[in-house]
Structure 1
Amino acid sequence: MTIKAVVFDFGGVLIDWNREYLYKHLIPDDTERRWFLDNVCKMEWVVQQEGGQSIKEGTAELIALHPGHEALIRAFYERWHEMVAGVLEEGVALVDRLEAAGVPLFGLTNWSAETFPYAWDRFDVLRKFREIVVSGRVGLVKPDPQIFALMRAEIEKQLPGIQPHELVFIDDNLANAQAATALGWHGVHHTGAIGTEAKLRALDLPI
């Protein structure tokens, strides 16, 4: 088996992002905080911005639905950087080892186009990727097959003729990993660096 490129998701694999990091300070009560994150600033809303909706528009729409929570809603993007704790060192170590072995690396992330520059400016690991497809820039989000097609097209510019079975995709979201597998890629559900490393070794990657 020959793997010619590895594609990484970022959040939860290389970057430690969690809504709890901010909202545990804003809403100390666990039950209240869980209700707010499940019903107001829920992930379905976050995905709208990751898919290309502007933060201004998304915030205004949510405030209109939940006017009593305006301050907490505005805090989501005004203090978004407080949800980013830094890099996940074990994930970065995987990238470093693959890079050292000469494996071509690419990135495919669900991320708002407006907040991605914050990560780009601060985390050097992101510069190890030959090309990065950011959902908010292309108006598509994983697990939509179209965003995987865009990623493959970018890879093919550098690795002409590459086939789906020659690609590995690593994501902490099971649905996204399964979507890649359904397209003929080797989808790896990332639940920890040790497990992911074992899966990469099983694919004969030099890691």
Structure 2
Amino acid sequence: MVLRCVVVDCGGVTHPDSGLKEAVRRRVPSEISDDAAKAAKAAWNAVKENPAVTKDSFWQMVCESSGLDPSSVKEADADICGTLRSHYSETLEVLKIARDEGIVLGVISNHLGFWFHEECAAPCGLRDLVAPELLLVSSEVGCSKPGNRIFELFLERLHTQHPGLTAADCIFVDDKVENVTAARALGFQGLCFNAKTAAPGALAEDLKKAGVPLP
């Protein structure tokens, strides 16, 4: 079967993970660093489906739960922004080739909108490759992977933008098995892929094997 839509995750596929835990860990006393890192991640999980979250409210939550001094927030945030501005160039190149071949592109990401758009999507040109309606960020749409709703919402928007396309026309690429499994259960093809550890050329080759008509 020829697949006509490629949907990707952000962290681990197009971009590195944010480095939030390490950014906090480095800025608290060593005796609480592990607990602080876990608290920061818990704060992220607590707001990843919250459309009302702002950068300020998020960092306030992190400081209150982790022991991070508010005076260190600006520096920690700058570290994270620097990490998120980097990207996996091979993944972006494959997406550009796919777009040029007429393949529809989408993104389904568990992310915070205030970081995603300005630090991830804009600098590397991802937002120029993907129609805004098909770029789903969990904190903006109020649901996240591996739950069904975020995939269903993507399919609803896909049908509106490209009538006739269904889950069977799509392949979802993510670095976490549970997210790929969830997508497959809804009819997507699935590819578990980690750009950090993958061999050069692996993404294009795996997509071709799955049925994506890349040159």
TM bucket, shorter chain: 0.7 to 0.9
Q: 2:113 is paired with a residue of what secondary structure? A: coil
Query: Which residue in 1 is equivalent to 2:212?
Result: 205
Map of 1:1-207 to 2, 5 A cutoff? 1-19=1-19, 23=23, 26=26, 36-37=36-37, 39-42=38-41, 44-52=42-50, 53-66=53-66, 68-71=67-70, 74-75=73-74, 76-77=76-77, 79-118=79-118, 119-130=120-131, 131-191=134-194, 192=198, 194-207=201-214
Contact 2:169 2:188 in 1 (8 A): yes
Give the 3 Å change call, closer, same or farther, for CA 196–32 of structure 1 in structure 2: farther
Give the 3 Å change call, closer, same or farther, for CA 113–85 of structure 1 in structure 2: closer
Q: Structure 1: how far apart are the matches of 2:8 and 2:201?
A: 16
Give the 3 Å change call, closer, same or farther, for CA 167–113 of structure 1 in structure 2: same
Contact 1:181 1:187 in 2 (8 A): yes
Name the TM-score, length of structure 1 as normaliser: 0.82
**Aligned-pair CA distance for 1:147:** 0.6
Q: Structure 1: how far apart are the matches of 2:148 and 2:72?
A: 31
RMSD over aligned Cα, in angstroms?
Answer: 3.0
Q: What are the ranges of 5 or more consecutive residues in structure 2 without an aligned counterpart?
A: none
1:73-92 deviations in Å (ceiling 9; x for gaps): 73544653133251201111
**Number of equivalenced pairs:** 204
Contact 2:23 2:79 in 1 (8 A): no
Q: What are the ranges of 5 or more consecutive residues in structure 1 without an aligned counterpart?
A: none
Percent identity between matched residues is: 19
**Aligned-pair CA distance for 1:29:** 10
Contact 1:21 1:83 in 2 (8 A): no
Q: Structure 2: how far apart are the matches of 1:64 and 1:25?
A: 14
